[in-house]
Amino acid sequence: MTPVSEHKLTNPEEVQEAIRGLKVRKAAGPNGIPNRALKQLPQRAVSLLVLIFNAILTHHFPTVWKYARVISILKPGKDPALPSSYQPVSLLGTIGKLF
């Protein structure tokens, strides 16, 4: 196992920059938190995210962030009665993607 001192931890500026880069017209994942909400977080909440992310970097990735909601999108011009006419899309939780 790598010593904690060798892990590159994150900081509020890095997390805030990642939040600014989020697209607001993306669907929320299983946690239901839209990117638009993340963009409205106060600095204190961003600081708490930094603590969570740094704890993950030194311990483990939360199991709940490994789950996705899978939806099927009908391909254009395809027969809706056929399973092969659908494209699966996995919706991951927004905070896990931000991490």
C-beta separation of 93 from 33 below 8 A: yes
Measuring CA to CA, how many Å separate 96 from each of 29, 35, 64, 86, 99?
Answer: 10, 12, 9, 26, 5
Residue of 68, 75, 72, 73 whose CA lies nearest to 94: 68
Full-model pTM: 0.69
Determine which helix (DSSP H) or strand (DSSP E) holds 89, and give its type and residue range: strand 86-92
Strand partners, 69: 91
Domain boundaries, the chain: 4-98
Question: What are 6-42's pLDDT values in tens digits?
Answer: 668 999 999 999 999 999 988 888 888 999 999 999 9
